[in-house]
Structure 1
Amino acid sequence: MSLRGGPRTSADRLARLLNLVPYLLARPGIEIAEAAGDLGVTERQLREDLELLWVCGLPGYGPGDLIDMAFDGDRVTITYDAGIDRPLRLTPDEALALVVALRMLAETPGVANREAVERALAKIEDAAGDLVAAPVEVRLPGDAGRVAQLRAAVESGRALRITYYTAARDETTERVIDPLRVLMVGGRTYVEAWCRRAEAVRLFRADRIDAFAELAEPAVVPPQARPQDLSEGAFRPSPDLPLITLRIGRGERWITEYYPCERVESDGERWVVSMRVTDLGWARRFVLGLGPDVAVVAPVELAEQVRDTAVAALEAYATPIPAGADPAAAGGRQ
C-alpha cells in the first residue's frame, strides 16, 4: 500500500518507522529522494520520520541509547540502530501482555483484517509456549450480546430504526439511520451512521441504544457521508460549540488531562480552564458533579444555571417531610 503524500494514521507511521531502520541499515549512504520513492512517502515526510527516529531508542535515552545517523548532503546512514535489528525476545510478562492485547484487538468491533490479528496471535502463542499457557479470557466492557446483534444488523446492509438516549439533553428519541460501521473508541462501542433526522453522520453509543429493529429497506448512505476521523477520540471540539471557562483547584486538575482544553492558565493555587462542550445542559451537570472546588467564570448563563440548580437542591433538603410521608414520593428528601 502506498503512503505517498503522508501517513493516514499514527499506526501507518509506526509501521513505517519500524521498517525504516532495517531498510537504511541495508542501504548505507542512500539518497533521501531514492528512499522516499521506495517507501512511498514524500521527501519532507521521510525527513520528519528521520527526525523522530533521532529521539527513539533504549531506556536511559542518553548518548549511546538513542538511534543515531549521519548525513552527507542528501544521503543518510544509520550509525547506531539501538538493537532494533536484533530478534525480539520477550519476558513472560511481556509475552502475556502482548497476547492479552491481541486478544482484545481481535474482539474489538470494526477492526479491519481480523484474520491477520488472529494469525499474529497464533504465532506469538506458539512461540511463547508455556509462557502464556495460563488461561486468559478477554471481555470488552458493555453488553457483548447487544454489540454482536448490532454488528450483525449493520452487516445486513439494511436501515435501522433505533430508540436512542441522548445524555447531553437527557432525552430519548426514535431515529432511522443508515449504518456505516461499528467501531470502538475510548473503550466504548459505537455505531457510526447517517442519521436521517439530523441529516448528518452521527455516532451512537451502543449502550445508549435502548432498542433497534432492521427495516425492510436497504441502507442508503448519501455520497457526502464520510466516516469521521476518530483518532483523537469520539468528541471533536469545534468553534461552533459553546465555550466554558472554569476556575479549578488542585484536586480537579485531572480535567485538563481527560478533556480537550483550549486554554489552561495558572491563577496562583488555582487554574483557569477553557473547554468546548456539546451544550450548556451537559456543562451544568458536569460542573455540579465536580464539587465545591470549581467555579464557573464564563458564560454567565452557565453560572446562573449552576447556582439556581444548587439553590433548588439545598431548598429541597431543607424542606421537612410530613410525618408518615414516603421519602421517595417527596422527591427523595431525608
Structure 2
Amino acid sequence: MSVRVSRLTRLLNMVPYFMANPGISKEEAAQELGVTVPNLMKDLDQLWVCGLPGYSPGDLIDLSFDEDTVTVVFSAGMDRPLRLTSTEATVLLVALRSLAEMPGMVDPTAAHGAIAKIEAAAGNAARVASGDRGDADGASAPAPESMVVTTVRSALQRDHALRLTYYSASRDTVSERVVDPIRSLLVDDQSYLQAWCRQAEGVRLFRFDRIDGAVELDEASVPPAQALGTDTHLELFSDDAALPQAHLRISAAHGWILDNYPMVPVQTLPDGSVEVTMRYGSLEWMARLVLGFGSAATVIGPTDLVETVRDRARAALAAYDALEV
C-alpha cells in the first residue's frame, strides 16, 4: 500500500529501502513510496549529492538509476541507524531552523516535526545550545507560511504549472506570466523559484519575496529538456543584449557598488575609479539608482540617461532652494 510521507522522511528512508529491495523498478518504487516517477527521480538526484563530511566523490551516496531499476552502489552509512552526538544534533537543529525560515525551501511543518524529534532524542542540551528556549512547554512555534509560498511549494511537489504575478526589480515592473517550475534554490540567503518562463521562453529565477501572487494551474509542469539538469541559468543577472546599457564611472572610494550590482568593469582609470556597464530595463529605474549613488557614480552614457539624471538632479536642487526661501 502506498504511504505518503514528507520528503525529508522519504529521503532518509530511501537508501535503506532500495538496499532492502535491490533491482526494484522505478515505477514500483514510486508506487510504494507514494510519489510520481518524476518526483522519485528528483529525490534520487538529491541523494546523489548527499553523503559524509568531506563530500568528495568517494564520500557521497552512489546510486545507479540510469536504467529502469534502482541500485545502491554506496550507502554512505545510510543503511544503519543514525547516532548523533550533542554537537552534531545542535548543528542539525540550527540548520533545520534556518531552512524552516527560508520561504519555499522545505515544508515548515515537516522541518519543525524533525526539530521536535531531534530535540526529544538529544535532550535539553542540544535545544539550549542551539538557542531555542521554546515556550513554557519547551515547544517552538513555527512561523506562519504565506499563501504564495504554500502555492509555489505545492506546484513543485505536484509538478504543476504556475501563473505568477511578479515584480521585476531590474525592470521596475509587475507582470503576469505562466511558468513551469523546476526547483527551489537558496542563493545569497534568498529563496528563489527556478522555472521555465513561457513568456520569455527561457529559464528564470523568481525571488519568493517578489512574487505578489501565485495560482497553481491544473496542467503539468513541462519545462523543455534543455532547461533541466543544468546550473547555467543560476546567474541572478544575465546580460540581455536586447536591453539598453548604461555606461558609468564609479569612484575609487565606492568600489562596494560593483559587488552589489550587476556591473561589468570596462577599465580602471589612473585615479582608481572604474568605468563599468550595466543593463537596465527601465530608464526611470536606472535614473533613480544612479541618483541614489550621489557623487559616487557619474553617468557617461547613453544620452537619454545622462539627460534624465541631469534633469532630476537640477529639479532636486531647485526643490532644496525653494525650501530655504
TM-score range, shorter chain: 0.5 to 0.7
Distance 1:235 1:101, change over 3 A: farther
Amino acid at match of 2:98: M
Provide the TM-score with structure 1 as the length reference.
0.54
Match of 1:131 among 129, 132, 135: 129
2:311 aligns with: 308
Match of 2:209 among 207, 210, 219: 207
Secondary structure (helix, strand or coil) at the match of 1:306 reads helix
Amino acid at match of 2:291: L
Q: State the structure with more CA Rg.
A: 1
Distance 1:218 1:284, change over 3 A: same
Give the whole-Å Cα distance in 2 for the aligned partners of 1:138 and 1:261: 42
1:161 aligns with: 163
| Counterparts of residues 16-27 of structure 1 (less than 5 Å) | 18=54
Matched-pair contact (CA < 8 Å) for 2:205–2:234? no
CA RMSD of aligned residues (A): 4.8
Give the whole-Å Cα distance in 2 for the aligned partners of 1:231 and 1:158: 21
How many aligned residue pairs are there?
245
1:189 aligns with: 191
Give the whole-Å Cα distance in 2 for the aligned partners of 1:238 and 1:16: 40
Matched-pair contact (CA < 8 Å) for 2:91–2:130? no
Deviation at 1:255, TM superposition (A): 1.2
Give the whole-Å Cα distance in 1 for the aligned partners of 2:304 and 2:98: 44
Give the whole-Å Cα distance in 2 for the aligned partners of 1:291 and 1:212: 37
Deviation at 1:224, TM superposition (A): 3.4
1:283 aligns with: 286
Q: Which deviations, in whole Å up to 9, do the C-alpha atoms of 1:292-319 show, x marking residues without a partner? A: 2321234444323322332344456667
Q: Which deviations, in whole Å up to 9, do the C-alpha atoms of 1:182-216 show, x marking residues without a partner? A: 33322222222222222222222222222222233
Provide the TM-score with structure 2 as the length reference.
0.55
Deviation at 1:167, TM superposition (A): 2.7
| Counterparts of residues 245-260 of structure 1 (less than 5 Å) | 245-260=247-262
Matched-pair contact (CA < 8 Å) for 2:252–2:274? no
| Counterparts of residues 140-159 of structure 1 (less than 5 Å) | 144-159=146-161
Distance 1:174 1:150, change over 3 A: same
Matched-pair contact (CA < 8 Å) for 2:269–2:275? no
Matched-pair contact (CA < 8 Å) for 1:246–1:274? yes
Gaps of 5+ in 2: 1-44, 61-84, 135-139
Give the whole-Å Cα distance in 1 for the aligned partners of 2:169 and 2:54: 42
Greater per-residue helix proportion? 2
Say if 2:300 is the partner of 1:297.
yes
Give the whole-Å Cα distance in 2 for the aligned partners of 1:182 and 1:271: 38
Gaps of 5+ in 1: 1-7, 21-35, 41-87, 321-333
Matched-pair contact (CA < 8 Å) for 1:161–1:175? yes
Amino acid at match of 1:283: M
Distance 1:101 1:258, change over 3 A: farther
